[in-house]
Amino acid sequence: MIDIEDVAKRFVLHTQGGAVIEVMQGASLSVGRGECVALAGASGVGKSTLMRMIYGNYTAQGGRIMVGDVDVASTGPRDILELRRHTLGYVSQFLRVVPRVSTLEVVAEPLRAVGVARNAARARAREMLRRLNIPEPLRVLSPTTFSGGERQRVNIARGFVLDYPALLLDEPTASLDATNRAVVLDLIGAAKARGAAILGIFHDEAVRDQVCDRVVDVSDFVPETSA
């Protein structure tokens, strides 16, 4: 479902004298349906960069990034948006929302974007927030005022409210307590069971051992020159 072949990434910092930083070379990996693969490697090795390239958030300087039958590395904005709407979910560390929109609407949004009716979308969002222990009184508020752990759970709810065939998870359990971590593990397990391809960064080794089928070491993709 996710097939990456010989991907390279370079940052050119024009504002800092045109410094060229080669961060990745020859990155290849694949994640099949129903499989969960972990990206490993020390901090700064490029795990998040690789995830962002797969999501089309960062450009790639070569290679192919296939998600389903779309090559994210070479396709245009419209196809990437379409891919994100229907196929590829992403639980990131950031939550960027319009400050006034309620948590319930934020979570329902991915469903609304694929044409699910308002009430049905809200009902599913409500159920997802209940599972992630975001209490009723908070759901009418904007998540911009939430704590780190609460925001993360809102992000997770958004990523799992729709059954995406492929999912990217950037440290989904980083600031969660044991109860909520267990909920996320259940969600990941259920997503695998329905055939989703999952690629994630999991610093928590217990979590990694429990849900991941394989580990890919991203330090293998660090260019020789900068290693």
Per the CB < 8 A criterion, the answer to whether 128 and 184 are in contact is no
Q: Smaller CB distance to another protein: residue 66 or 113?
A: 113
- For residues 12 and 206, which CB has a smaller minimum distance to another protein in the complex? 12
Query: Is there binding between residue 12 and another protein (CB under 8 A)?
Result: yes
Token pair in block for residue 214? 């394989």
* 17 in contact with another protein (CB under 8 A): no
Candidate residues 66, 70, 95, 113; the one interacting with another protein per rule CB under 8 A: 113
Among 20, 43, 69, 98, which residue sits at the site for another protein (rule: CB under 8 A)?
98
Q: Considering only residues 162-221, where is the footprint of another protein by CB under 8 A?
A: none
Spatial contact of 7 and 63, defined as CB atoms under 8 Å apart: yes
Q: At closest approach, how far in Å is the CB of 213 from another protein?
A: 30
Nearer to another protein by Cβ, of 36 and 90: the residue is 90
Q: How far is CA 197 from CA 39, 148, 166, 194, in A?
A: 14, 27, 5, 10
Number of residues binding to another protein, judged by CB under 8 A: 23
Cβ contact 21:10 at 8 Å: yes
How many CA atoms, within 13 angstroms, populate the side-chain half-sphere of residue 112? 12
- At 84, the amino acid letter reads R
Binding site for another protein (CB under 8 A): 11-15, 52, 56-59, 77-78, 80-82, 96-101, 112-113
